[in-house]
Amino acid sequence: MEMPTDIQHQAMGYDRTATMFSPEGHLLQVEYAEKAVRLGSASIGMVCSDGVLIIADKRLDDSLIVKESANKIYEIDSHIILSVAGIVADARVLVERAQVLAQQHRVTYDSPAEPELIVKEISNIKQQFSQYGGARPFGVSLMIAGVRNKKPELYTTSVTGNYFSYHANAIGENDEKIKEKLREKYKKELTIKKGVRLALDIFKEIQKDKFNLERFELAYIKNDSEGIKRFESGKLKEFIK
């Protein structure tokens, strides 16, 4: 009886280092890291007519945890926000690096950093950790939203260090199902308020009985760059009226 391909690869050691390609051209440690991302709680990002938003499921079920201490959306600068899916401890290193880059750019050039500049630098770091021996890939995907010259932008970086710009996207648990819903229902003309309502409707449809508004947090930035607006759990009710 012939062994399955994935078991053969494990037996031959192709999954023991991030720098060894399998005969089929796969980096197995990178693919394992991508699976870790899909185990993380989900986030949805959207570019809207009046700004850009990210809504994230914190997936906190332990009543002993102080909910305000467990954020899924981070402030990189006054015009850039970031959400994560996967191993949050890995993400924290990249988030801190992004924050330093944004501040260095302000100090050096006396102007806010472009969102893509931050995305590109973080993606370069992630790519390096899939190339050098003695290190494992970052088990995290990042969704970065920001405003540049009053124009909203949304980016997502993968485990491999690849990144793309999106109109709307999802990372984390059930990301493919969420993206299918976004392809059906997302429109560029949506306002932030309508975008939040759409995102919550999609989460409710997919999570079914597990859906709980208390688990979510929202952050958005308007095109006029008035800064980041945050909403936690109960405050989201005003968006679904």
For 25, phi then psi, to 5°, come to 90, 20
Give me the pLDDT at residue 6, please: 60
Q: CA 201, CA 100: separation in Å to the nearest integer?
A: 36
For the chain, helix, strand, coil in percent to 5 are 40, 25, 35
Cα distance between residue 67 and residue 233, in whole Å: 9
Give dist(CA 204, CA 148) in Å, integer: 32
Residue (of 124, 122, 143, 123) closest to 72 by Cα position: 143
Average pLDDT along the chain, 241 residues, taken 10 residues at a time: 55 67 80 91 96 93 77 94 94 96 96 96 93 85 95 95 97 96 96 95 93 91 89 77 62
Q: Per CATH, the architecture of 5-239 is what?
A: 4-Layer Sandwich (3.60)
Q: Supply the pLDDT for residue 185.
A: 96
Tokens in use for 8?
Answer: 């053969």
* Geometric angle at alpha carbon 27, from 83 and 99, rounded to 5°: 25
Least Cα distance to 163 among 121, 130, 113 occurs for: 121
